Every structure is written in structure tokens, then in C-alpha cells.
Structure 1
Amino acid sequence: MSENDFVPGHLFVLHGRIENFAYDAVIVPTDSVFTVEPHWRPVAGDVDRARPAGWPAPPFGRAATGESVWFISVADAQLLTADELVRRLRETLRQIDSADIAKPAGRALRRVALPVLGIGAGGLGARRGAILRELLAALREEAATLGLDILLVTPDAAVFSAAQHARRNLAAGGTRHWELDDREMAEARRLGGLAAQGHLALFLGAGVSMAAGLPSWGDLIKNLGERVEGGLPKDFDGLDALDQAEFLATRLGGAQELNKAVIEIIGRSDKIALAHALLAGMACGHAVTTNYDNLYERAVEATGRARPSVLPWESVEEGRPWLLKLHGDIDRTLSIVLTRRDFVLFDAKSRPAGSLLQALLLTKHVLIIGASLSDGNVIRLAMEVDEYLQKSEARSIRGTFVDTSGVEARQELWRDQFRWFVCEGKKRENRVRRMEMFLDAVAAYAATDAPWLLDERFDGLLDDRDRGVVELARELAEKADDASGLLDPLKHALSSLGARRNYG
């Protein structure tokens, strides 16, 4: 790669579990005697043979098995300083950068995944706010310098929220955490604010799941065609996509057999896409998808929140998010919508589902990700909403379309109904990465809850003007313990901000 081709890497902060992601290298915490906790074994590989040669000198290194796993000691005989932890982390990342690790096809940069180091068994948990701030600064700098995309992953809601707070503060102070221009950052803040207020809904198209290795519509049709005995007619490609699916259904033994083949091809991906996790981190209560897979549900569940109710097969429950699957679900073979017949009969069979999408377009701001707006049913539903609103004075922009297609003409078709965020880049992989960076910024501004605020372990994130107020709030929480039930709402509010929790 020439100097002119160099692309700075980006630091992504994700709420979930490392084993759910596809990455090219992973950093696993251990100690000076090479103790690897059991919960790291799904990503650490064969721990019994992985101990780097000469361990613990140096106290970081690649697995002896040759796998793309790097170990770093976060606990020596003496407690590490933050400076030493960060030094080891920087050296580890530079080792990874210089290692012979190929970039997978379809991805702009190599990815390195790691947890928030040192705040667990590393013994620095009492100073997690300060440690987190130092780690974020170092990771952002190394990502940009080395050209690595770094995934900082935590399942802990308080740590995730605190990290996003720290990034917002750094951005407000002039530090560039996102390679986005001022207009794009303003849009990310606006959408994040809508999510924080509960006013943002999601629409996920096939492009989101393609990043997890699932096929596009065209690839799905091609794979199905390969199952037809005797091959396809020469003029098959001249058929419309829906008619191609209808033709395949007749050749494969009917709609049910076609749907079984679809589920086999899609399979059950082991990894979620980065976009799934970023969208899950926005904690939106309502989502709609034309995808059959269960990757978004898994991404939400990995944050510790309830897995979404999948409509129309499960009931909506109070306090639980829901996901409407317009075109069927991988766990329900008969529900798959794919052929011309399926689309023609969609309204007759699934009118309430379409009405629910229309209700979101009328009452929420809908963030559209990974879609092309070429789906006939979705177009019809959106245009019916637009026609309805033209009769009133309430016509307004009803959503934001994040476009990775590279076809700018589509923006002109929908300019009166959707805001448009065009992800620039010559190759699709570059446009997808641009989308991921944008969603990372949206997620940072959506995470405005603060379950860490009154937790003493995060004091390192507070500035002087706020620290005194926080200390008063903690004193109030202690006094409220002896108060009557009348003050239960106050106790609950203080507890939700981290007051008087058991930090053992």
C-alpha cells in the first residue's frame, strides 16, 4: 500500500460480546502466570498450547499456536499503573499491525477486537473512569496511526454508557473521534438525540446482513438456480427478480420447498455484522426488517436487554422492544416472502404488518439502513403515507435514509419524504465502512443514560465543576435510605444513576 492509499483506522465502541463479531485479530487479557479466565476461551482458542514463548517477558504476545490471538498481562505481582497498561496495549497493537494477517475480501481495513482492559481481574476497577479515558485516547490514536479498525467491546451497560460519554466530551473539546465532516456530525447528533428520546425507529434491509456474510437478493436467486435439475433456461436472466423466484418455486417443487432451500442457503450465521451491534446499541424500542435472519435480535440480546418480540408471531410486552419481520422469519418456513405470488398477496395476508410500518412513518423518525427502497411493498406503503399526508398540512420528512448504493439519483426520487445520508467511496466496502462510522457516532449520542454517574469507580470521567454536585447526590442517596416509601421514586432515580450499588 502506498502512502497515498493509507486509510486511517477508526475506534468503534460496541455493546455486546466479542465472540459475536467477525474480526481479524483479538486481544485477550491474562496475568503474569498466564491465567485465562473461562469466559475468554471462546475467543482465546487452545489456551493450553497458546502461551507465548518466554512469557511473561514481554508481558504481551501472539498465541504460540499461530492463531490471530494476542495475550496481554493486565495483572502482575504488583498493581499496574495506567501508563504501563497503555504502553503494553500500544505495543500489542503494533505487533498486530506488523503481523502477516490478510484483510478479508469485502472489508476496507483489518479489525482488532478487545475488551476494556484492566478493570476486572486486572485490579484497576476502582479507577475504571480514569482507565477508560486513557484507553479510549490510546486506542483512537493507534487506530488512526496504524490503519486498523479497533472494536472495543463491553457487555456492561455502565461501561458502555461511560465510554460514549467520554467520546462525546472529547469530541466537544475538539478531538476528532469520527472521520465525519461538521454536517455529518450534526446529523449523527440529531439522530442520536431522537434515539435517546425514544423517537427513533429502525428499518433494516438486506445490506445490513450482507455485511455478516449473508447473500444479496441476486446471490440468493443464483444459489437457488443452481439447485434446479437440468439448469435454467437461457432467457432466465431476462425475467424480473420476483418472476425469477416464482419460476424457481415451480422447478423446486413449490413454495414450501423453495423456502426450505432459502433457509438452507442463508443458514445461521455465527457472527453479527458491525451495523447490527451499532443499531442495537441505540436501544430503539421499535424496528422493522425485510430480512429473514435473527442477527439483529441476537445483537440486542447481547447488550443485556430483553430479546425483541418478533412480530407477528410473538406478543408485544411492556418494557420489551419489538421487531416486525415484513417478509418472514428463518425459524418459520411458511412465512418467507420471495416470489411474485407472495408479493401480490402480501397486502391480503399481511395488511396489519404494513399498517404498523405506516404507523411508524407517521409517528416516529425512521432510520433506514441497508435498504435500496426498491421493494415494491415498502414503496407502496411509503407512498400511501405520503399521499395521506398531502391532504393535510402535516407533510414532513419522516425518516433518514443511509445510502451505500452509490446511486445518487435515488435521492431525488425520495427527497420530499426522507433525509439522505450518502456514504461516499469508490468501492462498496468503503461506503459500508463509512456507514458504520456514521452509525458509531449516532450510537454515541444515543447513549445518554448514565448508570455510572454516581458510581465512585467512574470519578475519573468527572470534571471539577461536576464532582462536587455528584458528591452531594451521593450524600442524598445515603440519607434517602432511611426515608419513607414516599421517596421511593427519588431512591429509584438515584439508584439508576449508580448510587449505593454493591461494587464488590
Structure 2
Amino acid sequence: MTDAGHVFVVRGRLEHLDHDATLIPTDRDFVVTPAWAAPLAAAAHGATGGSARTSARRAGTAHHTDLEDGGDDPGIDETGVGDAPATDLPGDDDAWAATVRGLRPTSWWERGWGRAADGRPAWFVDSAAYDDPEATLGPMVDRVHAVLMDIASAGISPRSDRPRPLVALPTLGVRQGGFGDLRGTVIDRLLSVCQDVVERTGVDVVVVAANDPDHAAFQARRRAAGGRHAAHLTPELLDQARMLARRALEGSLALFLGAGVGMSAGLPSWSRLIERLAERADADFGRLSSPLDKSELLRRRLGDDLGCMVAEEVRGTDRYGIVHALIAAFDCEQAVTTNYDDLYERAAADAGRELAVLPWAAARPGAPWLLKMHGDVEHPESIVLSRSDVVGYDARSRPMSAVVQALMVTKHLLVVGASMTDDNFLRLAHEVVAFQEGGPTGPAPLGTVLALRPDPAAVELWRGRFEHLSASQDADGEPGDHARRLAVLLDAVAMHATPPAHLADERYAALLPDEERPLADAARDLRRSLDAVPGRSDSWRALERALDEIGA
């Protein structure tokens, strides 16, 4: 184990991911396109603690929710944000240029990189290719290295209880920067630079890939380099990460997400949420110790207003955490959560997957869905929090319980961020175990629990029913350190669970071994051959899809 930082890779959008500092691409003349207004507003939000949506409006941009699909739409920038100006940007180019000039680093003309002049945690870097991309790539990468080292020494305060700063950057220079035809080489060099910086300084870096091929290429390059997760995780945990990734790829993995997932974005734990509600309601819990009883007192005092107050507390966070983004990359078709927020849904949408949220939306054949067991902020009346809510849950929500139990029987359930103390979930699990014990094969493991720290009693309690894995080997230590190590474990799963969407795409040829490049050429030739026969029957569709999935 080491105190080095870690390089994470996620599929998402910079302005939607909770982080502490960011890199913004530009050119030597400091031309910053309006597409970067939203990430710049998010950086201001991180510095001031205000709402990201409010900061976006102050910066003159809408809070982006459109998705980047990796296609040829000129309104989309593959570096991670929409390329088309938002509707409430400054009304003309001169106004936007004036806004940008106010952010230009004081040493820009000498170095081609630097921190925004107003002090927000955003650094600009000249990432343009100019006349000769191959000749200018090296100097561009050197500037990125200098920027990351400068961020590491800037004394940035981590947000969301992180133990160290998290620096986010896009795939620099691959669209308007002019390095698009060298994507494979750019990805290789960026990963090397990021790895060097985290090992030297201890900061964490997250590369935010805006489309599936880039994301797959980053992950493939990391797999080829060994992933570097061994600096933080035991060999046993790495083996478990590969096993979970195999389940994700074969479609046998389902998710159960608890409150710990939301804490990676700064959301409160269940107990802290109750404390906040008590402060607002001026409630004295006296000698009550059970969270359910405390919530019941709040329910009696506030009545139907309790759900609305919970929604107000949860809505205060509108950027998803790195754990949300990593889990979304598993591409699981079924997920269940006891959380009220919509951060996992946002992370999944930014990864190109629109979830049907049950029970308010209908599940679609072949499409992913998320079941919200305990309600949703958009439906405050549905929120389950108090003891009376839990006692009456089965009578009101038996079909949802049946769905959860069906997943326990038919899938491998990965439990993340849950303390395994939720009465509803435990009752459902014990009923499934009792059902299996009466069957011909006896009880079978229901899934895997990812815990923050070792808990021998929990291991013994659930032996044979849930595999209990602890991301940390130390029972002591700060919660933020344990949560970070859990994120590293999830990053290892995501790395192994990402399919090769880049494999036959010529732009990533530099990442392939020499002996595999003819295979990629042949795949592209075969795809072109199919297109050359316009009257082909539908029987060829399966082959077309398979070739498209690897970028041919």
C-alpha cells in the first residue's frame, strides 16, 4: 500500500461530476468556446459553495443536461460538454470574449497555461495542435503536466469529505484542438502524465471521457498497463474486482445502492439527514436512540411536510459523485436503491443510458431500470423514513418487494453504500434464504456486499449468503479514507467491465499491438463490405451490430 494518488476514469460530463479542480482547453490566443461555460460555472460553484445551477446562470449559461453521443452532430463537443451555445449565454461574441478575458491567467502569454484570474479552481491549458499535430503533441502534454503539478501545489481544499483533492480533466485536444486523428496516442500520453503526477504529489485525478470509444480506450490502456490499483488494494480484492466485472459483462450483475453512495457527492448519511431535519423542526429526541423512532417523532410533528423537507435537503446537491459515475459504467440493466436523490440517474444519463425509474415509469424491454424502494425527491409523498413507514411498507409496496427478491434469486446482487441494517431489505433477504433452504439445492449466495471497513461479525452473520468485502484492511482511520479506497475498488471493476468500443476504430490504432492492427483493418473492411450491399437481408444485422460495437 502507498500514499500515492490514483487516476480514475469515468464516462460522464465535467460540469455534472463533483470534483475540486478542473482543466479547461483553449489555444495560444486564449480562445475559449462557449461550450466551456458550464464547467467554468461549476468550478465557481465549487469555490463558493453555491448551487451549480445558480452559478451557471450567473456565468451566463444554462445547466447542461443534453447528452454527448460520440456522433457527428456539430452541436456536440467530444471533450465533455455541448459545443452549441446555451440559450442564455451572453448575447453576442463580444460579451462572451469579455467574460473570458477576465479569466485569462496573468502568465498566459509566457507559459500557455495557468489558473483562472478570479481564483476559481479552474486551470486553462493550450491544447491545440496547430500545423503539425505529431510535432505539437509533446509540448501540449508537457503543459498538461505542468498544470497538474501546479494544481497539486495550490492547496485546494477537498469537498464532500474527500481526504485529498480530486482533479478532473477531459480528453484534451481531440476535437477542436486538432488531435482527433491521434486519439490513441493522446490517451496514452495523458494517462502517463496523470499517473506521474498522482505518484509524485498524492492528489487524485479523474479523466472524464465524453463518449464510449474514448472511455473504452482509456480503460483498455489502463488494463494493458496493469491498472495501478495494486498500490491501494490487496490481490484478493483485485481478484474480486475482476470477478464482479465478468458478471457485469455477462449481464448477471444487479445493483443495490445505499446512502453511502450519495455521500461521495456530499449528501448526508441517514443519521445526519435526521439531525438536519430535527434542527429545522426544532425537535428534541430526548433519550430516543433508534433512527426509526427519531424519524417517527419527526413524522408526528411535521405530518405530510416531512417528505417535502427531506426532498429539500436532498435537492441541495446537484452534482453526482465519482462513485455514481463508476457504478454507472457497469452498465447493469437492473438496480435498486433506498436513496431519494436522482444522482445515479444523472450519472447513468451522462454515460448514455436513460433509466426507467420504477414505480413511476414503465420498464421497457431490453432497457435499464432503477427501482426506488424508499421513494424519490420528485414524489415527496412516497418517501419512507419513519418506523410507521417501514412497518406499513410491505402492505403498500409488495410488488416492489417481489422485484427485489426476484433479483436476489436470479442475479448476483452487488450491495454498495448500504450498512445492511435496513429492515425492509433484511426481511426480504431472510425470506429468500428461507425459500432456498426448502428447495432441492439449498441456499445459494445472494450477492456481494462492498463495505468501507472490516467487520468480522458481519462476515460471520452473512457467510454463505453474501460475500462481504472490505475495501480497507484497517478498521480505524478516517471515513473519507475508507470511502476513497472503496472508489478505487469500484474503479478497478469499471476498468475490467468496459467493453472494447474503440477496438476497430482507426483513431485508436496506436493502442493496439502491431499483430492486432491487421485484425482491426479487416473488421473495418468487413463493415464497409456490408454497407456496399444495400439490399442485404436483415439476417446480417447481428454481424453489423457486433462490428459497430467495436468501432468498425
Q: Verify same fold: TM over 0.5.
A: yes
Q: What is the SS of the residue equivalent to 2:108?
A: coil
Q: How many angstroms does 1:273 deviate by?
A: 1.3
* Number of residues of Structure 1 aligned to a counterpart in Structure 2: 486
- Contact kept, 8 Å, 2:173 with 2:180, in 1: the verdict is yes
1:453 aligns with 2:500: no
Q: How many angstroms does 1:233 deviate by?
A: 5.5
Q: What runs of 5+ residues in structure 1 fail to find an aligned partner?
A: 500-504
1:341 aligns with 2:388: yes
User: Residues of 1 paired with 2:158 and 2:297: CA distance?
Assistant: 38
Q: How many angstroms does 1:265 deviate by?
A: 2.0
- State the partner residue of 2:427: 380
Out of 64, 68, 79, which is 2:132 matched to? 79
- Contact kept, 8 Å, 1:389 with 1:395, in 2: the verdict is yes
1:428 aligns with 2:475: no
Q: How many angstroms does 1:181 deviate by?
A: 2.2
* 1:86-105 equivalence runs, <5 A: 86-104=141-159
Q: Deviations over 1:464-501 (max 9, x none)?
A: 121112212222222222334233432333233222xx
1:169 aligns with 2:224: yes
Q: What runs of 5+ residues in structure 2 fail to find an aligned partner?
A: 42-98
- Contact kept, 8 Å, 2:128 with 2:140, in 1: the verdict is no
Residue identity opposite 1:478 in structure 2: R
User: Residues of 1 paired with 2:129 and 2:372: CA distance?
Assistant: 50
Q: 1:76 to 1:283 in 2, by over 3 A?
A: closer
Q: How many angstroms does 1:300 deviate by?
A: 0.3
Residue identity opposite 1:357 in structure 2: V
User: Residues of 2 paired with 1:154 and 1:121: CA distance?
Assistant: 16
1:232 aligns with 2:303: no
Mean alpha-carbon deviation: is it higher for 6-15 or for 347-356?
A: 6-15
- Contact kept, 8 Å, 1:9 with 1:146, in 2: the verdict is yes
1:124 aligns with 2:179: yes
Q: Cα RMSD between the aligned structures?
A: 1.9
Q: What is the SS of the residue equivalent to 1:203?
A: strand
Residue identity opposite 1:21 in structure 2: L
- State the partner residue of 1:353: 400
Q: Deviations over 1:428-472 (max 9, x none)?
A: 111100100000000111112x22222111101110121112212
User: Residues of 1 paired with 2:210 and 2:226: CA distance?
Assistant: 24
User: Residues of 2 paired with 1:287 and 1:197: CA distance?
Assistant: 16
- Contact kept, 8 Å, 1:454 with 1:470, in 2: the verdict is yes
- Contact kept, 8 Å, 1:282 with 1:443, in 2: the verdict is yes
- Contact kept, 8 Å, 1:167 with 1:177, in 2: the verdict is no
- Contact kept, 8 Å, 2:160 with 2:263, in 1: the verdict is no
Q: How many angstroms does 1:193 deviate by?
A: 1.0
User: Residues of 2 paired with 1:371 and 1:40: CA distance?
Assistant: 36
Q: What is the SS of the residue equivalent to 2:106?
A: coil
* 1:90-489 equivalence runs, <5 A: 90-104=145-159, 106-171=161-226, 179-228=232-281, 231-232=283-284, 234-235=286-287, 238-252=288-302, 254=303, 256-306=304-354, 308-392=355-439, 393-424=441-472, 425=474, 426-448=477-499, 450-483=500-533, 484-486=535-537, 487-489=540-542
- Contact kept, 8 Å, 1:202 with 1:286, in 2: the verdict is yes
User: Residues of 1 paired with 2:242 and 2:353: CA distance?
Assistant: 23
User: Residues of 1 paired with 2:245 and 2:32: CA distance?
Assistant: 37
- Contact kept, 8 Å, 1:178 with 1:441, in 2: the verdict is no
Q: Deviations over 1:22-57 (max 9, x none)?
A: 222111100011111222111235523111124232
Q: How many angstroms does 1:176 deviate by?
A: 5.5
Q: What is the SS of the residue equivalent to 1:134?
A: helix
- Contact kept, 8 Å, 2:129 with 2:137, in 1: the verdict is no
Q: Deviations over 1:374-403 (max 9, x none)?
A: 011110100111111112215222211011
Q: What is the SS of the residue equivalent to 1:57?
A: helix
User: Residues of 2 paired with 1:70 and 1:242: CA distance?
Assistant: 46
Q: What is the SS of the residue equivalent to 1:401?
A: strand
TM-score by length of 2: 0.85
Q: 1:105 to 1:43 in 2, by over 3 A?
A: closer
Q: Deviations over 1:243-287 (max 9, x none)?
A: 2211121122x2x11111211222241211111000001111100
Residue identity opposite 1:33 in structure 2: D
Residue identity opposite 1:93 in structure 2: L
User: Residues of 2 paired with 1:228 and 1:153: CA distance?
Assistant: 40
Q: What is the SS of the residue equivalent to 2:428?
A: helix
User: Residues of 1 paired with 2:231 and 2:213: CA distance?
Assistant: 22
Q: 1:183 to 1:234 in 2, by over 3 A?
A: closer
- Contact kept, 8 Å, 2:318 with 2:343, in 1: the verdict is no
Q: 1:124 to 1:394 in 2, by over 3 A?
A: farther
- State the partner residue of 1:502: none
User: Residues of 2 paired with 1:397 and 1:178: CA distance?
Assistant: 30
User: Residues of 2 paired with 1:496 and 1:104: CA distance?
Assistant: 37
User: Residues of 2 paired with 1:387 and 1:221: CA distance?
Assistant: 33
User: Residues of 2 paired with 1:478 and 1:178: CA distance?
Assistant: 44
Give % identity. Answer: 39
User: Residues of 2 paired with 1:374 and 1:336: CA distance?
Assistant: 18
Q: 1:251 to 1:481 in 2, by over 3 A?
A: closer
- State the partner residue of 2:3: 7
Q: How many angstroms does 1:292 deviate by?
A: 0.7
Q: 1:123 to 1:178 in 2, by over 3 A?
A: farther
Residue identity opposite 1:117 in structure 2: L
